[in-house]
């Protein structure tokens, strides 16, 4: 299973030079921060290629680490084995996970992170390793507000895939019962008739990508947008009736795993905007359950229609969602 990205992996389009990032302003996260909504006291798990815990932008924010990475030629955890836990266990040797973690932290700057490495230096991994990571969260961090999964694969489907993805569905359902929202990228296959696994699991919260501004013509490996604009759905973003939410996914500047910053695009980048937003909402109202977080983000967001299939979904608005979360807390007192 490969990490969720447009087709050509480490080349175009992930490391595409672009204008300065505008995603936090587009989703009004910066406004939310000004109002004091920053995700304080909340924890987000990033299951990916790992997390650069020593990066200045993430320093002090990673509170636990683990690795479940069998690889194709032996263990691909930092210790050379197939499993590892504790400090350094999620050391990133590819960059994707650190970039994702940086986006979560950008949206929820006062939230903490748990890094879990399940993908190797090529961004590949197995379903069994990913499920092991999810099981570890269930056992060790059931207090997390969200698990971010910017990964997946398989043939896109427009229906719930719980029966064919039973190992994913079982642990995602268990996490939801504990109050943990599983946020999953829909995939970058340019499909307008389906989303990939495990985003297609019923109790996951599937995320598609929009542009964060007018970036001119964008030619990706499997499609081309001759013109771009803020809130335009990217042509590579998988979409169907089982898509749940939208967030900025191109082109996003975030943490570079070897220092500095990197520019990446994909539904992988959209997903952590939503996971970070979940932390902001739970901090604003600690009584919120996963279904509450989903409904608030969907009802307070900006409706966007995918011209390819006429599916309309909300693009998140963190400020409006945080205010609604507070209002719900007030109304129940």
Instruction: List the structure tokens of 281.
Output: 């909402």
pLDDT at 20: 38
Residue 277, helix vs strand vs coil: helix
In the chain, where are the structural domains located? 23-331
pLDDT at 2: 43
Quickly list DSSP for 225-264.
ESS--TTPBPTTS---TT--EEEEEESEEEE-TTSSEEEE
Residues annotated catalytic, as ranges = 48, 96, 268
pLDDT at 14: 31
> pTM score, two decimals?
0.94
Mean pLDDT, all residues of the chain: 92
Instruction: List the structure tokens of 28.
Output: 């009004």
pLDDT in tens, 52-94: 999 999 999 999 999 999 977 789 999 999 999 999 999 999 9
pLDDT in tens, 91-140: 999 999 999 999 999 999 999 999 999 999 999 999 999 999 999 999 99
pLDDT at 333: 55
Find all residues with CB under 8 Å of 137, minimum gap 6, and list them.
45, 47, 114, 116, 144, 147, 175, 180
* Residue 17 burial (C-beta neighbours within 10 Å; 0-12, 13-18, 19+): exposed
DSSP H or E stretch at residue 33? helix 29-34
**CA-CA-CA-CA torsion sign (58, 78, 275, 155):** positive
Confirm if 130 and 184 have CB atoms less than 8 A apart.
Answer: no
Is the bond preceding residue 90 a cis peptide, omega within 30 degrees?
no
Instruction: List the structure tokens of 184.
Output: 């999953």
Q: Which fold has domain 23-331?
A: Rossmann fold (3.40.50)
pLDDT at 16: 28
The pLDDT averaged over each successive group of 10 residues in the chain (333 residues) is 35 31 91 96 98 95 97 88 98 97 96 98 95 98 98 95 98 98 98 98 98 96 97 98 98 93 96 98 98 98 98 98 94 61
Distance CA 246, CA 159 (A): 18
Confirm if 238 and 155 have CB atoms less than 8 A apart.
Answer: no
């Amino acid at each position: 299973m490969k990490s969720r990205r447009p087709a050509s992996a480490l080349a175009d389009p992930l490391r595409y030079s672009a204008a300065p990032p505008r995603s936090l302003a587009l989703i009004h996260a910066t406004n939310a921060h000004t109002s004091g909504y920053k995700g304080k006291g909340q924890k987000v798990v990033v299951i990916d290629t790992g997390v650069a815990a020593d990066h200045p932008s993430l320093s002090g924010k990673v509170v636990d680490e683990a690795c479940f990475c069998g690889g194709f030629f032996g263990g691909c955890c930092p210790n050379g084995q197939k499993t590892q836990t504790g400090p350094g266990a999620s050391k990133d040797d590819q960059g994707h996970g650190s970039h994702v973690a940086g986006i979560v932290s950008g949206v929820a700057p006062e939230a903490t992170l748990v890094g879990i490495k399940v993908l190797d230096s090529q961004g590949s991994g197995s379903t069994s390793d990913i499920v092991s990571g999810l099981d570890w969260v269930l056992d060790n961090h059931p207090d997390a507000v969200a698990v971010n999964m910017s990964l997946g694969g398989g043939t896109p489907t427009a229906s719930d895939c719980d029966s064919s993805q039973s190992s994913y569905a079982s642990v995602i359902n268990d996490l939801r019962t504990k109050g943990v929202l599983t946020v999953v990228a829909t995939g970058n296959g340019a499909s307008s008739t389906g989303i990939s696994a495990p985003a297609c699991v019923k109790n996951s919260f599937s995320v598609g990508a929009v542009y964060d501004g007018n970036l001119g013509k964008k030619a990706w490996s499997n499609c081309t947008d001759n013109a771009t604009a803020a809130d335009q759905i990217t042509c590579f973003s998988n979409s169907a009736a089982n898509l749940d939410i939208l967030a900025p996914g191109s082109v996003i500047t975030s943490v570079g795993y070897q220092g500095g910053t990197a520019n990446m695009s994909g539904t992988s980048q959209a997903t952590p905007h939503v996971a970070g937003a979940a932390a902001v909402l739970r901090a604003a109202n600690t009584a919120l359950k996963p279904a509450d977080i989903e409904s608030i983000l969907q009802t307070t967001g900006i409706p966007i229609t995918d011209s390819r299939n006429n599916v309309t979904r909300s693009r998140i608005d963190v400020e409006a969602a945080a205010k609604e979360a507070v209002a719900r807390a007030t109304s129940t007192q």
